[in-house]
Structure 1
Amino acid sequence: MKDYRSLKILDKFSRLFEKSGIDYPVMRRILQTKLTMDARRVPTIITKSSKKKDGKGAPEGNQFIRSLWLYILFGLMSTPFILMGDNYIFQMSTVFGVFMFMILTSLISDFSAVLLDIRDRNILSTKPISRKTIAMAKTIHILIYMFFLTGAISGIPLVAGLIRHGVGFFLLFLLELILMDLLIVVITALVYLAILKFFDGEKLKDMINYVQIGLTISITIGYQLLIRMFGVVDLEVVFHAKWWQFFLPPIWFGASFESLLHGVNEPLFILFSLLAVFVPIAAFLLYIKLMPSLERNLQKLADPGGRSRKKKGFLLRRVNSLLCRDPQERVFFNFAWTMMGKEREFKLKVYPSIGLSIIFPFIFLFSDFSGNGSLDLVGTKKYLLIYFCAILVPTLVIMLRYSAKYKASWIYQAAPISDHAPIYRGALKACLVRLLLPLFILDSCVFMILFGAVIIPDLIVVALSFTLYTVICFACMRKALPFSEAFEGGQQAESIRVIPLMLLLAVFAFLHWLATSLDYGVYGYIVVLVVANLAVWKWAFSKAILQRGIQI
């Protein structure tokens, strides 16, 4: 196996690991094996199958390293905040907010599977290896990739800070990046440990997915709060320290620059600076102490935990029979419903996007609130912002074709099915009902509280627009049978197609706005959308479209 440079650097700290009771040679060999296997894994942030193959069909090179250009791009976009002046609390809090958002999102989507991986337990647990060594190998494995992620996103800003603000700024920036990474990894691990303590079996696996949604929502809301803490007075950015800012780590890191480089001695700034140092270190020490417990509780993921054998709910059967008149279509509706509920890899990659879609409408809705509560919304058309909750639809349609168990797709050819249209229709309807409908109902309930029952006809328009939008997205995408391709097989071209489809969603919102400008226009638009849905759903699953699709 290849002897990675990161492992050679780690060798210099071998005595430190051994003093902590870790078998360093064994940990190094585990890491070497994991890094070798990781070269085959493609990160979620890019979906690219146009990679070269060697004679055996394995991808060449580490695809994670090749994906870092996107993080470099985000770092480049953050660089102006470093160069714009010396208001460190504003500049560095914003920069660390961007960094934490990007790295946490990547950690949740790509490395939760690494942190919660139990596939190597059958090999390692039969050997005389301590749980502490296995847990530390897992932690170092993630930290190595965190180093590459952080280096990619912060490399250009670090150089810009060195040139613009000097060596002191550079060293402090570098130190706080290390502390930030420690904090991110430990918080994520401790959250998962808490869930592992209270749940087991299938409930645990479901809870982990819900925790990922919660983490995604939390970091997005936190980022929005961070932006709104700063005001502009006479073209100057003004910051007022408040007690609740103790819960926003980017403020801790930003305040350290003010305290150490500008000599600001305000008590809150000093407390923020102390938190930036002591919380990550204390959290990491706590994590080291709890590592054996984490490894012990990870065994619950392998426990089926008395899987429920409940019969399919009456409501689901009714929805199935109402939406799917064709018997074959009903079968594949049930099949897709089950796969989306039990396919862990699918949920790990899709559910964080659902979390973002839940809160996107509210982020824009409350962006210009004046403080009068719902009075700001009465009589406005801001309820049209609910269209943002369908921003994940193109991604859902793309992801519907992927599965970790894609090799079982031979069943499509073995089954006596001459027409694939019922397969696509059933799977797409299951996707709508299971993933998009609960999201839409949740947002609609909140919008009705804010705007009143008067918007019910408009919500009907939105629902009809979403179903029409979904089938149009399907018609525009490359066709592949549901759950028939590996996750590593995604194509970058498909991701590019998402952009015009998102613009199409804006067209639906604009047409809705035009309808509200006419007397009884909303009711007329409902009739138009019903007819359009009937026509487009029939057209999208015709043989011509299924064979070639639409080029956009």
Structure 2
Amino acid sequence: MREFYTLRFLRVFKSVFATLGVDYEAMEKILQIKLTMDERRVPTLFNDGREKKKGNHFLKSLWIYALYGLILIPFFLFGENYMVQMSIVFGMILFILMTSMISDFSSVLLDVRDKNILQTKPLNKKTINAAKVMHIMIYMGFLTGAFAAIPLLVSFYTKGILFTLIFLAGLFLGMLFIVVLTSLLYLFVLKFFDGERLKDVINYVQILLSVSVLVGYQLIARTFQFAEMDILYAFSWWHLLMPPVWFAAPFELLLNQNNSTAVIALSLLALCIPLLAIYCYSRLMPSFERNLEKLLSDMKIKKQKRHLLDEVWARLACFTKEERVFFRFALVMMKKEREFKLKVYPTLGISLVFPFVFLLNNLYGLTLAEISGGNMFLLLYFSNLMIPLVVTMLKFSGNHKGSWLFKAAPIPRTAAAYSGALKAFLIKLYLPVFLILSASFLWIFTSRIVPDLVAILLAGIAQTLITYKVVNDEDFPFSKSFEFVQDGGTAKLLLLNLIIGGFALVHWISLNFNYGVYLYIAALLISVVIGWRLTFPPLRKRGVGKLKTAANQGS
């Protein structure tokens, strides 16, 4: 195994670990093995199914965090209102650290695979726990350093050495606080719930990280618009509950010589809470390790209950038993398949947010009444951006090896299976997002856009059929590995997204004619009905044909 520079640096503190009762040589050997194995792990931001290359993928992804660190620079360049400026800075830093900690390092914190190996060796628990904590701290240090490196240099040249030292101390304490806070959060979840619920929490935070990376630049752009405003800080009691304000207070105390009781109290919280959290973590570590054993054993399998609403939709939307079976199957897969949710749900979030983002871009200089009288409700077509990706992803599953059951079962047509899966997608994923957006846009644009909403919904169903025809490869849904996601799919997705723009263009043209939108609705409705019947012909006709063929052969 190769030598790691981080471990060389860690040797400087060998005596400190020895004082704490840690076997440093054993801890270093454990860390060396773990760091070597980490070179196979791909961070969430790059977890897209592409070909995996050699090397530590996390270290190669640090340039993205360095790029995002540039958003902190403007807050070092204006004024000396440190309570406001540094509260925003540390708010961004703590958000990035928290989401990255949960999304990329939960597998490290919750790793129980080495328990059977390490606990059979003459190692004390302090050494094992110290190796786990230092493993996380090494990567959190890299991430924090990448995110804050350029801002640190800017702060040194613009604010001086004292500001930079306070900033470094705040980064270190903030990093400790996030690691311990995440551990205590997991301890709370494991204490009262099972391991499956914890995995769900981690999965949803991964989704939040992916969405925030894609739409965060819009929020950041709006933050910069307040950069030149003269904002005065006024203390309120609830600031005691806000960690970013804690870490901003030492700047105000030491640089602006603000000795008010509130600033001193907040500064003490910035110092004491992370240290107190470390103490609590050390005391609760045995309980945490005991509860981690829930992840080792399979929890009792609960019988899946059928929801009444899902059954109603199955009866209303599906016309054959075969179709209803795959409708229910797709509902379960979309709800339980974690890798599917990780790849699909960020797109749902983007489809939900983008119409509002682009609507806000046009609010400057216009009143809400002026906006409501225009055609900006066509931004709802952005909600259809989810369709190409999700319909494509219906082919893949993390448990694809079980798809042999489809071929072993007497299922005469793949089309019937996909018909149920597509209807499950439209009802379970597409329709809720569309209804939320429709309700919001109805409040803004009034009931005059009801026909337009119907047209956009029908365009979404038509887009679903078009996507299926483009990406369909005559296989069953959820029957392929996610390793093949990127095989020739990018160009198709781009083309399908352009088709969504085509629907929006035709809709906009129809608005220029009397009753044009109603003609557009009629054309879409006819296209959807005929297109669905041609794509998924009724099973009974195919069945009758097969019976006649068999009878003729028998005679």
Q: TM-score, normalised by structure 2?
A: 0.74
Q: How far apart are the structure 2 equivalents of 1:109 and 1:213?
A: 9
Counterpart of 1:306 in 2: which secondary structure?
A: coil
Please tell me the residue identity of whatever aligns with 1:2: R
1:64-75 equivalences under 5 Å are 64-75=58-69
User: Which residue does 1:430 correspond to in 2?
Assistant: 424
Higher mean alpha-carbon deviation, 416-425 vs 85-94, is at: 416-425
Q: Distance in 2 between matches of 1:149 and 1:489?
A: 30
1:374-389 equivalences under 5 Å are: none
Q: Secondary structure at 1:11's aligned position in 2?
A: helix
DSSP 3-state at the match of 1:337? helix
The structure whose Rg is larger is 2
Structure 1 vs Structure 2 CA RMSD: 4.9
Tell me the residue number matched to 2:34: 34
Matched, 1:6 2:6: yes
| d(CA) in 2 for partners of 1:83, 1:368 | 29
Q: Does 1:241 align with 2:234?
A: yes
Residue 164 of structure 1: SS of its match in structure 2?
helix
Q: Distance in 2 between matches of 1:183 and 1:22?
A: 22
Matched-pair contact (CA < 8 Å) for 1:162–1:170: yes
Deviation at 1:45, TM superposition (A): 0.9
Greater Cα offset, 429-438 or 475-484: 475-484
In structure 1, stretches of 5+ residues that fail to align are: 53-58, 543-552
Residues in 1 aligned to 2:17 and 2:455: alpha-carbon distance in whole angstroms: 61
> Does structure 2 retain, via aligned residues, the 8 Å contact 1:118–1:302?
yes
Structure 1 residue corresponding to 2:280, chosen from 260, 282, 286: 286
Encode CA deviations 1:345-369: one digit per residue, 9 max, x unaligned.
4445655665676666677778999
Partner Cα separation in structure 1 for residue 267 and residue 332 of structure 2: 49
Q: Name the residue aligned to 2:300.
A: 306
Give yes or no for contact 2:355–2:383 (8 Å, CA) kept in 1. Answer: yes
Is the contact made by 1:332 and 1:427 (CA closer than 8 Å) also made in structure 2? Answer: yes
Q: Deviation digits for residues 413-439 of structure 1, max 9, x if unmatched?
A: 777889755555544443443334344
> CA separation in 2, counterparts of 1:498 and 1:263?
57
- DSSP-derived class of the 1:238 partner: coil
Change (3 A) 1:23 1:525: farther
Cα 1:207–1:178 change in 2 (3 A) is closer
**Pair 1:530-2:530 in alignment:** no
Cα deviation 1:268-303 (Å, max 9, x = unaligned)? 444444433333333333223222222221222344
Assess, with a 3 A threshold, how the Cα gap between structure 1 residues 214 and 303 changes in structure 2: closer, same or farther.
Answer: farther
Could you list the per-position Cα deviations for residues 185-217 of structure 1 after superposition, in whole angstroms to 9, with x for gaps in the alignment? Answer: 233322222221211264554465567778999
Residue 173 in structure 1 maps to residue 201 in structure 2: no
**1:461–1:265 distance in 2 versus 1, CA, 3 Å:** farther
Name the amino acid aligned to 1:72: A
SS of structure 2 residue aligned to 1:263: coil
Inter-CA distance 143–408: structure 2 relative to 1 (3 Å threshold): farther
Check 1:375–1:289 CA distance in 2 against 1; reply closer, same or farther (3 A cut): farther
Instruction: Please report how far the alpha carbon of residue 265 of structure 1 lies from its aligned counterpart in structure 2 after TM superposition.
Output: 4.3
Residue 477 of structure 1: how far off its partner (Å): 6.7
Are the structure 2 counterparts of residues 286 and 537 from structure 1 closer, same or farther at C-alpha, using a change threshold of 3 Å? farther
1:481-540 deviation line (CA, Å, top 9, x unaligned): 755565566549867987887787677667767767876665554434434545676899
**2:336 corresponds to which of 342, 351, 360:** 342
- Secondary structure of the corresponding residue to residue 105 of structure 2: helix
Contact 1:209–1:351 under 8 Å retained in 2:
no
Partner Cα distance (2:431, 2:312) in 1? 16
SS in 2 for 1:150: helix
Q: Assess if the C-alpha contact under 8 Å between 1:183 and 1:279 holds in 2.
A: yes
Tell me which moved more, 102-111 or 435-444.
Answer: 435-444
Over the matched positions of the two proteins, sequence identity in percent amounts to 46
Name the residue aligned to 1:275. Answer: 269
C-alpha distance 107-350 of structure 1, shift in aligned 2 (>3 A): farther
Indicate if the aligned counterparts of 1:89 and 1:254 stay in contact, CA closer than 8 A: yes
Q: Which amino acid aligns with 2:279?
A: L
Residue identity opposite 2:28 in structure 1: R
Give yes or no for contact 1:76–1:156 (8 Å, CA) kept in 2.
yes
- SS of the residue corresponding to residue 279 of structure 2 reads helix
2:83–2:233 CA contact under 8 A, matched in 1: no
Equivalent residue pairs, number: 533
CA contact (8 A) 2:372 2:445 kept: yes
Deviates most, 63-72 or 414-423: 414-423
Matches within 5 A, 1:66-465: 66-83=60-77, 86-124=80-118, 133-200=127-194, 202-203=196-197, 205-206=199-200, 209=203, 236-243=229-236, 244-310=238-304, 312-313=306-307, 315-320=309-314, 322-324=316-318, 330-347=324-341, 350-351=344-345, 396-397=390-391, 400=394, 402-408=396-402, 421=415, 425-441=419-435, 457=451, 459-465=453-459
Distance 1:513 1:245 in 2: 49
